[in-house]
């Protein structure tokens, strides 16, 4: 039985995991860099260890140091959260070799799904439709041009080992492809240690819809419905909803069945997310699989009443799922808005000291935060400083509550994207549910480029 967990992460997800562990009477160990010494999650944990300077390769990506702390603190398990080492198959493998439970899938499955190319092949074998694209890695710009001629523009150029929109770019011509190939390949090599690229056809007016799954070590797997994640900037999500108001019940069932079929074929265990692009006719195509908990997991929790972190720990303990697909129902509508420390127009990060920090409060308002008043937001990490989650009986109810809560969300001393969020949720296209992946470029940024 897991009695002590090291959280190999920082910020709001570390705080989120600690809360569930406290409720489950599990001791927690936090790690922090010099830049995060004053972060709220550090004092929330039962034990906290400084692991290095601010830069991630010297702290949150320093496996040797993390395992050193794990041994010193005598933990039973490690929860990786999201980002950093959460999808590093070598990290998961070493955990297992050390006799530490990795709260996530096996390293072999993680490695398979970590490569977008291998993931595509695996999902095709499971019978899932995939976006037309290259069957393998493309190593040169000339090879990319040859592939593009077959696929046809517009094309999504992607890093094989990438995530979070890094190494990804839409290209519309040969000239753009040549220019983008080298720069994105170099960027992917820097961030992921792998510069291999591949090409996919860009689905026009697509929606980004993902399925939350849970699978145990006894062959049981379920899905917890979908999340609509199409409102994005720089290929990174900004606003997420559950459920999607676009897909029909028939498509929901088809996507859910496909996701469950895939994870069973993979022998996948723990929580995961299968992401799809859905076109205007509700045809869906496999995009990628995230072998970890997602940033946007709270909206699934809100519409199902299920604590996903608790389920992760329970599965890692070797227990069978106590949830049945037939008994799961969607209760209401939930929306999450990510609060970023960034300029709301240029999207450039806005580090600095927070002089005022007031969170909205009230029924059906949930805050997941990584900061506090007088906290110094540094340039070393992702600029997300919090998540605002609301729930309503209907989508209209949830939107009304979100507008109210965003108006009451006060952050001073730095710039945030709150003005952008207010602009989006008040836009007639958002209100009507026209939330495609091109929403920000089409309806938000155009007003500043006139």
The single-letter DSSP state of residue 209 is E
pLDDT band at 164 (very low <50, low <70, confident <90, very high): low
In a domain, 120, yes or no: no
In a domain, 287, yes or no: yes
Structural domain of residue 62, as residue ranges? 4-103
The domain boundary residue, chosen from 83, 103, 123: 103
* Contacts for 319 with CB less than 8 Å, ≥ 6 apart: 216
In a domain, 345, yes or no: yes
In a domain, 110, yes or no: no
The domain boundary residue, chosen from 201, 235, 252: 201
* Whole-number Å distance between alpha carbons of 182 and 178: 7
* Whole-number Å distance between alpha carbons of 78 and 21: 12
- The partner residues of 226 in beta bridges, in order of sequence, read 211
Contact 389, 299 (CB under 8 A): yes
Residues 293 and 251 in one domain: yes
Task: Give the H/E segment covering residue 289.
Answer: strand 284-290
- Residue whose entry in the numeric block shows the structure tokens 């041009």: 145
In a domain, 413, yes or no: yes
Residues 188 and 221 in one domain: no
**Number of domains composing the chain:** 3
Q: Which of 120, 227, 292, 338 is catalytic?
A: 292
**Pair type for strands 384-392 and 376-377:** unpaired
- The pLDDT assigned to 413 comes to 98
Residues 312 and 328 in one domain: yes
Residues 190 and 282 in one domain: no
The pTM assigned to this predicted structure is 0.91
* Whole-number Å distance between alpha carbons of 429 and 48: 46
- The pLDDT assigned to 163 comes to 66
Task: Give the H/E segment covering residue 67.
Answer: helix 63-73
The domain boundary residue, chosen from 153, 186, 201: 201
| Helix/strand/coil percentages in the chain, nearest 5 | 35, 25, 35
Across the chain, how many H-helices and E-strands are there?
15, 20
Residues 77 and 35 in one domain: yes
Residues 383 and 418 in one domain: yes
| Per-residue pLDDT tens digits for 310-348 | 999 999 999 999 999 999 999 999 999 999 999 999 999
Query: Is it the case that residue 450 has pLDDT exceeding 80?
Result: no
Burial class (CB in 10 A: 0-12, 13-18, 19+), 362: exposed
pLDDT band at 190 (very low <50, low <70, confident <90, very high): confident
Residues 235 and 190 in one domain: no
Instruction: Judge whether 366 counts as a catalytic residue.
Output: no
């Amino acid at each position: 039985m897991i009695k002590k967990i090291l959280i190999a992460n920082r910020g709001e997800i570390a705080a989120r995991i600690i809360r569930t562990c406290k409720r489950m009477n599990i001791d927690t160990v936090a790690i922090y860099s010099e830049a995060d010494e004053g972060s709220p999650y550090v004092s929330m944990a039962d034990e906290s260890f400084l692991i290095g300077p601010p830069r991630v390769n010297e702290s949150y990506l320093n496996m040797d140091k993390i395992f050193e702390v794990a041994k010193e603190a005598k933990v039973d398990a490690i929860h990786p959260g999201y980002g950093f080492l959460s999808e590093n198959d070598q990290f998961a493998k070493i955990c297992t070799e050390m006799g530490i439970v990795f709260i996530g899938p096996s390293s072999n499955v993680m490695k398979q799904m970590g490569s977008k190319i291998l993931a595509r092949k695996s999902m095709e074998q499971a019978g899932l439709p995939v976006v037309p694209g290259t069957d393998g890695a493309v190593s040169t710009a000339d090879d990319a041009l040859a592939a593009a001629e077959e696929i046809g523009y517009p094309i999504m150029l992607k890093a094989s080992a990438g995530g979070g929109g890094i190494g990804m770019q839409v290209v519309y011509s040969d000239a753009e492809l040549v220019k983008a190939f080298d720069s994105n390949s170099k960027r992917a090599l820097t961030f992921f240690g792998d510069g291999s690229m591949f090409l996919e056809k860009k689905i026009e007016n697509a929606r980004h819809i993902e399925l939350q799954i849970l699978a145990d070590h006894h062959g049981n797997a379920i899905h917890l419905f979908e999340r609509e994640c199409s409102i994005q900037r720089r290929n990174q999500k900004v606003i997420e909803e559950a459920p999607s108001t676009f897909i029909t019940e028939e498509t929901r069932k088809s996507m859910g069945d496909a996701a469950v079929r895939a994870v069973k074929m993979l022998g996948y265990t723990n929580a995961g997310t299968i992401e799809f692009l859905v076109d205007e006719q509700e045809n869906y195509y496999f995009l990628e699989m995230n072998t970890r908990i997602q940033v946007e997991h709270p909206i699934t929790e809100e519409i199902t009443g299920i604590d996903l972190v608790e389920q992760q720990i329970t599965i890692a303990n070797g227990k069978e799922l106590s949830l049945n697909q037939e008994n799961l129902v969607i209760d209401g509508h939930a929306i999450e808005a990510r609060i970023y420390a960034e300029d709301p127009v240029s999207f450039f990060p806005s580090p600095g000291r927070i002089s005022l920090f007031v969170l909205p409060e009230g029924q059906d308002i949930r805050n997941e935060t990584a900061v506090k008043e007088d906290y110094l937001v540094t340039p070393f990490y992702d600029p997300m400083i919090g998540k605002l989650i609301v729930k309503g009986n209907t989508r209209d109810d949830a939107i009304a509550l979100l507008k109210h809560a965003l108006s009451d969300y006060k952050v001073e001393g730095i710039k945030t994207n709150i003005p952008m969020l207010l602009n989006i949720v008040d836009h007639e296209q958002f209100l009507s549910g026209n939330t495609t992946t091109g929403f920000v470029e089409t309806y938000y940024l155009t007003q500043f480029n006139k």
